[in-house]
Amino acid sequence: MNTSLEQTLLSSIRTIPDYPRPGVMFRDITTLLGDARAFRRAIDELVHPHAGSKIDKIAGIEARGFILGGAIAHQMSAGFVPIRKKGKLPHETVRIAYSLEYGLDEMEMHKDAVAPGERVILVDDLIATGGTAEAAVKLLRQMGADIVAACFVIDLPDLGGRRKLEALGVEVRTLIAYEGH
């Protein structure tokens, strides 16, 4: 990635120390979303590798993945699939449980959101430990989706999430990395 883009993105992301608990450096993309130039550049960079490819759906992980995923789906003329926390979707759903640092959680999507063989890109703001993204990949594959890639604005490589997805055979695309998170 070019230095200009990296600088634009780095300068548009706010870091909040000790949130949500001591020792965590929270990477807040709401400032990037509020900066029209940075937001546009981030979306363009996430779309670029797949421009001209046949992509059927963009799947976004709640909640920031909805914002990024909706913009990417629009740019790629693809449908959008929300992957949500349990109990938030109104129609028949499929669900998967996954581990968090402090226990278990579940995510779900509508049963009819993805047809077998559809080409899907998974999107979220950040990849850290990869638990949520890994569960989303498994959920999409359970429905027969062909996962083309997983895209994130931020990578925290020390936490190993990228490696988890790559071990599942998923191409991972990130725009910037924070070493030492």
Return d(Cα 7, Cα 65) in angstroms, integer.
22
Cα distances from 143 to residues 55, 70, 125, in angstroms, run 16, 21, 23
Catalytic residue among 64, 84, 162, 173: 64
| 64: annotated active-site residue | yes
Asked if residues 120 and 58 have their Cβ atoms less than 8 Å apart, the reply is yes
Q: Do 74 and 131 form a contact (C-beta atoms < 8 A)?
A: no
Whole-angstrom distance, CA of residue 123 vs CA of residue 174: 10
- Integer angstrom CA distances of residue 159 from 48, 92, 117, 129, 131: 26, 34, 31, 5, 10
Helical axes 36-47 vs 64-76, angle rounded to 10°: 60
Report, as residue numbers or ranges, the catalytic residues: 64, 101
